Amino acid sequence: MPTYKGNVGHLIQHWTLCELLNIAHKKGVRGLNFIDAHAMAPIAYKRAGPDTSRRKKFDRVRARLPRDLSVYEKAWHHLAPRGGYPSSANFVQQVWTRDFSMLLCEIDLYTIGPLRCWLPRIQAQRNCRVPKVCRSDWRDRFASAQGLPLPDAVDLPDGSLTLVSFDPDLISCHPRPARLDHKQQRRIYPQDLQDVRNQLAHFDGGVLIHLPTYSAQNNKQPRVICSTDEVLTQGADRFTRKATVLLPYDHKPGFRKDMMSLVYARGLDDWAPQIKALPACFRAWYDAI
């Protein structure tokens, strides 16, 4: 059965995702080309993992959901009013009201079934163009001859936004092993980011990369950010890091040294003020929980 952790990592990940979609709406973007490297089940009903302090904020947000204090909370309340937790793709189809396409990569066998059962319902929506589930490690799909879908290839209007979403357990600063075990598949390495940048090099129009991370392990956040910048912000096809959304400590000043959400953009210079404001907006929202 698909599971979810139900901790503050979900808050920083999906609050940021929903706000990015909201900005795109306000900017008048007509179509969304959504590519999810770690799709997860549409709704996961079983909560897994240790019961730690990281769950307290998550539970407080869930308890107040009818108050609808943010785009994220409104979508969460609509999608899972009786418990469980939605996936990124489910948040996207709820928040995004214009034309969209989805490529959902998922390697877990037990998650593929719920995703494929969910897909016809999404496909029936009038604004859904080409929804597809790819059963493989996202690296295989990104490196395949098929590659990533361009907006015009999935019947989206001119000026559509491509949004690539990741959900790694951690961003590693070390070289990618030649063979990846299950745990390593849930990480993202500098070589992976180089492959992503190469795949997106020929995409016209605006492109966003949303890269949250749940752990920095033995690497401090500045080193992780520097490592990621070294790959994504170089070359003619470079991205710009527009926002670093950090998770505050609950009971002392400063920020946690593990969870964060990085936002990289290309071709969206006029969005800079709105995206740059996300860290302060998240901090205000989080502190009010």
Query: What are residue 243's DSSP bridge partners?
Result: 263
Supply the pLDDT for residue 219.
75
**CA 256 – CA 248 distance, rounded (Å):** 6
Model confidence pLDDT, tens digit, residues 171-229: 999 999 999 998 999 999 999 999 999 999 999 899 999 999 988 777 789 999 999 99
Alpha carbons within 13 A on the beta-carbon side of 216: 20
Residue 17 clears pLDDT 80, i.e. is over it: yes
Candidate ranges 51-55, 132-136, 161-165; pick with highest mean pLDDT = 161-165
Percent of the chain residues past pLDDT 90, beyond the cut: 80
Q: Is the pLDDT of residue 54 over 90?
A: no
Q: Judge whether residue 53 has pLDDT over 80.
A: no
- The residue among 67 and 70 whose pLDDT is bigger is 70
In three-state form (DSSP H/G/I as H, E/B as E, the rest C), the secondary structure along 114-136 is HHHHHHHHHHCCCCEEEEEEEEC
pLDDT at 166 over 80: yes
- Per-residue pLDDT averaged across 129-155, rounded? 92
Other beta carbons within 10 angstroms of residue 44's beta carbon come to 21
Mean pLDDT for the chain? 93
* Residue 112, burial from CB neighbour count under 10 angstroms (0-12, 13-18, 19+): middle
C-alpha closest to that of 166 among 188, 195, 149: 188
Rounded to an integer, the average pLDDT of 269-273 is 96
Q: Residue range 90-113: average pLDDT?
A: 95
- pLDDT mean over 69-85: 94
CA 269 to chain centre: 20
Question: Confidence class of residue 52 from pLDDT cuts 50, 70 and 90?
Answer: confident
For 227-261, the pLDDT digits (tens) are: 999 999 998 899 999 999 999 988 788 888 888 99
Neighbours of 28 (CB within 10 A): 8
